[in-house]
Amino acid sequence: MGTINNQDYLLSSVKNALRLLRSFSLDEPEKKVTDLASSLGLGKSTVSRLLATLASEGFVTKDPETQKYRLGLTILNLNTIVTSNLEISRESQPVLRKLVDEVGETAQIAVLENMDVVYINRAECKHPVQIFTHIGRRNPLHCTSSGKVILAHQNEETIEQFIENGLEKYTMNTLANPDDLRNRLRTIKENGYSASVEELLEGVASVAAPIRDYTGKVMYAVSVAGPVHRMNPHNLTLINKVKNAANEISERLGYWKH
């Protein structure tokens, strides 16, 4: 019997529909048909049919005034199902809440996905001015405290692969030099935490610690973020509280440090 290529099982229309959905972002939450056709390399008629199908199931909605499309509530419903079923979300919530009460700033959980960090859980502080991160938001690894602490605990091959893809510079403090990043990652792994001061966004500081699953692997991180005028990520008391929270969540996930 001849072998069948995996590509033979893929439905191009479904794949294009998924590519279309993934093209929306926080920076570009609304798009016209022409924008989508151009970015996806598809014809306008094809994109229009995809959008009509997705709209019929609530995956996208259309603004009649601007003629732009945005993600629909079906996406939100699916996101709620996914996050509620993640063990890390269940186990981290009480720890996040306690951490917020202790440090007075917003705490969040991030996971490594496709060379980005994605925020999957959070607990807000009570300050009227706070750092707000959307659940599901993707950020680069090299300029966030969560991203750096997760990357620092990956193997050398993964680290080099990430560096080879390029280090975009977002602010004056972004680690865009490969050697600087390598050195920082070694320090982070040795110290067990990562600090970030205005590396992705000006005015924002954060500190993160690694979360280990039952095998000891680091795919998650817990972090605290706040305005630089209110939070010093190099404060030892703050660092220890974040590390303690990471250890507690790790234990809840079955990790036992021998």
119-148 pLDDT per residue, tens: 988 887 776 545 656 777 889 999 999 999
Cβ-in-10-Å burial (0-12, 13-18, 19+) of 107 comes to buried
Q: Quickly state the pLDDT bin for 214 (edges 50, 70, 90).
A: confident
CATH of the domain at 69: 1.10.10.10
Please tell me the distance from the alpha carbon of residue 106 to that of residue 226, in angstroms, as a whole number. Answer: 7
Q: Is residue 258 part of a domain?
A: no
Please tell me the distance from the alpha carbon of residue 186 to that of residue 199, in angstroms, as a whole number. Answer: 18
Query: pLDDT tens, 27-50?
Result: 889 999 999 999 999 999 999 999
Q: Are residues 144 and 209 in the same domain?
A: yes
Domain assignment of residue 14, given as a range: 6-76
pLDDT at 1 over 60: no
Per-residue confidence (pLDDT) for residue 127, from 0 to 100: 64
Q: Quickly state the pLDDT bin for 60 (edges 50, 70, 90).
A: very high
**In the listed set 76, 96, 113, which residue is the last one of a domain according to the structure?**
76
Q: Are residues 23 and 100 in the same domain?
A: no
Per-residue confidence (pLDDT) for residue 177, from 0 to 100: 96
Q: Are residues 218 and 153 in the same domain?
A: yes
Per-residue confidence (pLDDT) for residue 4, from 0 to 100: 43
Q: Are residues 114 and 224 in the same domain?
A: yes
Q: Are residues 195 and 115 in the same domain?
A: yes
Q: Which two tokens stand for residue 67?
A: 């003629």
Q: Are residues 232 and 123 in the same domain?
A: yes
More confident residue, 72 or 77: 72
Q: Are residues 22 and 105 in the same domain?
A: no
Query: pLDDT tens, 177-202?
Result: 999 999 999 999 999 999 999 999 99
Q: Are residues 23 and 149 in the same domain?
A: no
pLDDT at 88 over 90: no
**In the listed set 52, 76, 100, which residue is the last one of a domain according to the structure?**
76
